Amino acid sequence: MPRMQPQGPNTEAIRRQNKAIMRRMLACFNNADAEAVEGLCAPDVFENIPIPPEAHGLAGLKQQIRDLHAAFADLQFEETSCIAEGDIVVLRHRLTGVHRAPFLGVPATNKNISYPGQEIVRIKDGKIVEHLGAYDVLEFLDALGMLDAQLLEHRGLRRLRAFIVSRLLNPQVTPTEQRRAAAERAGHTEGEAAQADLIEV
């Protein structure tokens, strides 16, 4: 994840103002108010999140809000802490909701989802110009039933990381298809690929 170091003045008034902007952004997500983010973000806001939308920048941010509310009923981000320093704000939260529609290629499970995350933003002239999202992706995928139990038990963190990345970027690909593709690249059978841990990271 890119580093974000605080810059500029660090007065109490600036910290209070920047926290308020961050909390208004959180309210946009909670209220499914995608259009309201235009008043909070610069037109060329830089977005960096672990679950990439098809669009980027301001359009990508709006799409995140729409996609999340389309997939999860009763979606809420509950603030657990908020810290500001200079032009940087870090807000930690817990997301809750009910998985009622397809998300990342996974059909609705009707499962209750609850997992932590944090948002880091840089604010300039009263607008968010940069946003980094950090989530417990493993816990999230496990809640949706997207993790392969055999992978968790026998393949180690290297293959688990490859699996998580591949599911985020191409959710339609199954673990079996991954093993088959890895075997073909290496000239092995699928069983040999599973034994030799050939999925690339």
Residues 82 and 181 in one domain: no
Query: Is 159 inside any structural domain?
Result: yes
DSSP single-letter state for residue 92: E
What are the start-end ranges of the H helices in 88-148? 137-143
Structural domains in the chain (count):
2
Structural domain including 164 reads 147-196
pTM of the model: 0.72
Nearest-angstrom CA–CA distance, 103 and 84: 32
Q: Is the dihedral of CA 181, 170, 137, 174 positive or negative?
A: negative
Please check whether residue 119 is in contact with residue 81, taking contact to mean a CB–CB distance below 8 angstroms: no
Residue 155 has what pLDDT?
46
Lowest mean pLDDT among 33-47, 122-136, 161-175: 161-175
Lowest mean pLDDT among 27-31, 45-49, 65-69: 45-49
Residue 128 has what pLDDT?
96
Residues 54 and 97 in one domain: yes
Residues 34 and 108 in one domain: yes
Q: Confidence band (pLDDT; 50, 70, 90) for 82?
A: very high
Strand order in the sheet with 72-85: 41-48, 127-135, 112-124, 88-99, 72-85
Query: Is 5 inside any structural domain?
Result: no
What are the start-end ranges of the H helices in 3-98? 12-30, 57-71
Read off the CATH number of the domain in which 61 is found.
3.10.450.50
Q: Is the dihedral of CA 35, 37, 40, 41 positive or negative?
A: negative
Nearest-angstrom CA–CA distance, 65 and 53: 10
- pLDDT (tens digit, 9 = 90+) per residue, 135-176? 877 777 777 776 665 555 544 555 555 555 555 555 555 545
Quickly tell me which residue has 């810059």 as its tokens.
Answer: 7
Greater model confidence, 178 or 104: 104
Residues 109 and 18 in one domain: yes
Residues 114 and 32 in one domain: yes
Torsion of CA 170, 148, 176, 110, to 10 degrees: -60
Residue 13 has what pLDDT?
96
